[in-house]
Chain A
């Protein structure tokens, strides 16, 4: 219930006037009585004094006078006493009456204004507190709202108008607060025309939706200065006791930078995807090319070799030693070319076939590989040191190829050693990856060529020294890479080499 301070002031004024008038009346009435009484007393006193004087000056007269005076005085005194009693009674009655009237009037006036006065008195007290609290909270709100970096706005829904925007909002939108307050369709004009309809629809839909639902919407605005900004709005609805939305509180964030970064990232990842796609295509094409080239090279090579053999059979008895050597050299060259082509084919095929992963116990795999190399190791003195190795989740056939290459190399490059030493172990098995090494005391290599080790057809030795096409380690690197692992080598010329294979361990390995 609302009683305005003005109404309270009027009531108080009225109250004071009535009380004042009553008090005044009572006082006048009382004064009149006092004057009357005083007059009566004075009359009496004067009569008494006259008698006394006469009494003093003349003895005779005195007696007569006394007698007379006494009579008179007694009469007057009685009269004065009577009057005094009457007057006193009247005065008392008057005062009482005045008091009664005063009380009655006061009650009447009080009754008249009591509700308001009392209520208002109470209200005023509360009001004062609330006023102070409100003032403080308003100040706090203002400080907060004006100092934050996000736009804050209040939209009343009936009639629909913006009743508050903070400084950040005006800065963000480029609109003056007054403009916003005046606008009948708040702020929609500032929304980019492409987004306007979407924003309208989204806003109305949200307004009609669940009371507790939040407004979340992104859109662009075009500021009066022509600058475009991306805005993100969050909004909440406030309901009155009837459940009607009467107010909306909103926050507007300038997400232009974020949007731009997002756009840049998107553009970048699109470009990257495209590049990756192109690379994959190029890679596929290259592999297909490598395959078809090596495939197509095979036929003529087979013919060269085939007809050379037939020729050798026919003419060999007729040829001199030099001619025979020429033929043998051609044959050897074709053989070498054949193995290069076969290796290239295998390498290209290896990059294309799917990995078929199973749990592979490395110790058994190494044992098998060493067994397979029996012909190469038959007449050699080799100390094999095979440490405990983990089980890994890999393509078994490809991993056999990896360790076959590494161990075959170790056997091959320790050939000059009367006592070869080949060690296979695991230096790290921390649950994330296992690092397996194959180490030998062979001819080693110069670390400045370490980059060439894993290249296709890259060799650090002449074929006459150590046979091979130079595909083995390229395959090793490729297989390990396909398993998400790493491969590297450490060598020392004439002292030996160590090859490391790091394999990521998966859940199944642990």
Chain B
């Protein structure tokens, strides 16, 4: 059953970045264990079984990777909702963004983000970063046994 379970919810508005991230994560999990959504609204719909995701299989992802700059509902708003929800707050959230702005970093941690990763410009570095991120949160890190 584990293999069917969604391991990563990747919230990323750039489909290229999403594809490149998927490539990096593919070592750790199968493509069907990763759900990619293009904006914050879809991310929340997914987590709350709404809209397009009202019929999705039960269970929460083991890791949420969240971009900040997105149309409609931005990453910080999604993060705020997740961390204010007793059920969802135990899921590790990693911010993966190109913003190195201090206020974004501070706000993310204040809202309860578990990690903050700035997308490296050079692909090789980007690839390594996302790969290691997957290794750490999906393999090394022990997830919370309840809630998620």
Interface on A for B, CB 8 Å cutoff? 295, 298-299, 301-303, 305-310, 334-335, 338-339, 341-342, 345, 349, 353
| 5 A-B interface contacts by CB (under 8 A) | A295-B98, A298-B98, A299-B17, A303-B20, A308-B123
Q: A342 and B123: CB pair below 8 A?
A: no
Contacting pair B124 A295 (CB below 8 A): no
State how many angstroms separate the Cβ of B143 from the closest Cβ of chain A.
Answer: 29
A339–B122 alpha-carbon span in the complex (Å): 9
Chain A proximity mask over B107-133: 1 for CB below 8 Å, otherwise 0: 000000000000111111011000000
A309 touches B17 (CB 8 A): no
Is B87 close to A, CB under 8 A? Answer: no
| B100 and A309 within 8 A (CB) | no
Give every chain B residue within 8 A of A309 (Cβ-Cβ): 123-124, 127
Could you say which residues of chain A place their CB within 8 Å of the CB of B119?
Answer: 298, 302
* Min C-beta distance of A188 to chain B, whole Å: 62
**Do residues B16 and A303 form an inter-chain contact, with CB atoms below 8 A?**
yes
Of the candidates A301, A306, A339, A345, the one whose C-beta lies within 8 Å of that of B20 is A306
Is B122 a contact of A299 with CB atoms below 8 Å? no
Q: Which residue of B lies closest to A342 (CB)?
A: B121
Q: Within the complex, what minimum Cβ distance (angstroms) separates B102 from chain A? A: 7
Assembly CA distance A353 to B23 (angstroms)? 36
B99 at the interface (CB under 8 A from A): yes
Q: Can you name the residue of chain B whose Cβ is closest to the Cβ of A310?
A: B23
Q: How far is the CA of A193 from the CA of B28 in the complex (A)?
A: 88
Q: Which of B14, B100, B124, B127 contacts A345 (CB 8 A)?
A: B100
Q: Which of B17, B98, B127 has the most CB of A within 10 A?
A: B98
CB contacts (< 8 Å) of A341 on chain B: these are 121
Partner of B123, one of A295, A302, A345: A302
Chain A at the B interface: mostly helix, strand, loop or mixed?
Answer: helix
CA A302 – CA B124 in complex, angstroms? 10
Q: Nearest Cβ distance between residue A248 and chain B, in whole angstroms?
A: 65
- Docked Cα-Cα span, A341 to B118, in Å, equals 14
Contact status B99-A295, CB under 8 Å: yes
A295 to B98: give the CA distance in the assembly, Å: 7
Q: Is the CB of A338 within 8 A of B121?
A: yes
Query: Does the CB pair A305–B121 fall under 8 Å?
Result: yes
Which 3 residue pairs spanning A and B have beta carbons closest together?
Answer: A338-B121, A306-B123, A305-B123
Q: Are A305 and B23 in contact (CB under 8 A)?
A: no
Residues of A within 8 A of B98 (CB): 295, 298-299, 302
**Which residues of the partner chain A approach B123 to less than 8 Å between Cβ atoms?**
302, 305-306, 308-309
Complex Cα spacing A310 to B123, Å: 9
Inter-chain contacts of B121 with A (CB < 8 A):
298, 301-302, 305, 338-339, 341-342
B102 A353 Cβ-Cβ under 8 A: yes
Minimal beta-carbon separation of A33 from chain B (angstroms) = 137
List the B side residues contacting A305 at CB < 8 Å: 121-123
Which residues of B have CB within 8 Å of A338? 121-122
Min distance, Cβ A283 to any Cβ of chain B, angstroms? 18
Distance of A295 Cα from B104 Cα, bound (Å): 14
In the complex the two chains form, what is the Cα distance from A334 to B122 in whole Å? 8
Task: Report chain A residues within 8 Å CB of B23.
Answer: 310
Complex Cα spacing A339 to B124, Å: 14
Q: How far is the CB of A334 from chain B (nearest CB, A)?
A: 8
The minimal Cβ–Cβ distance linking B90 to chain A, given in whole angstroms, is 31
Q: A308–B119 Cα gap in the complex (Å)?
A: 17
B20-A302 in contact (CB<8A): yes
The interface bits of chain B over 1-34 (1 if a CB of A lies within 8 angstroms of the residue's CB, else 0) are 0000000000000101100100100000000000
Q: How far is the CA of A339 from the CA of B121 in the complex (A)?
A: 8
B13 nearest CB neighbor, chain A only: A299
CB distance from A59 to the nearest CB of B (A): 175
Which among B99, B100, B102, B126 is the interface contact of A302 at CB below 8 angstroms?
A: B126
A335 to B126 alpha-carbon distance, docked (Å): 12
In B12-58, the 8 Å CB interface with A consists of 14, 16-17, 20, 23
Bits for B62-105, please: 1 = Cβ < 8 Å to A, else 0: 00000000000000000000000000000000000011101000
Contacts of B20 in A (CB 8 A): 302-303, 306-307, 310
- Report Cα–Cα, A309/B122, bound state, in Å: 10
With A298-B119, A298-B121, A338-B121 as known contacts, state yes or no: A306 contacts B126, CB within 8 Å.
yes
What would 11 more interface pairs be, CB under 8 Å, given A302-B123, A307-B16? A299-B17, A302-B17, A302-B120, A302-B121, A303-B16, A303-B17, A306-B16, A309-B123, A334-B122, A342-B121, A345-B100
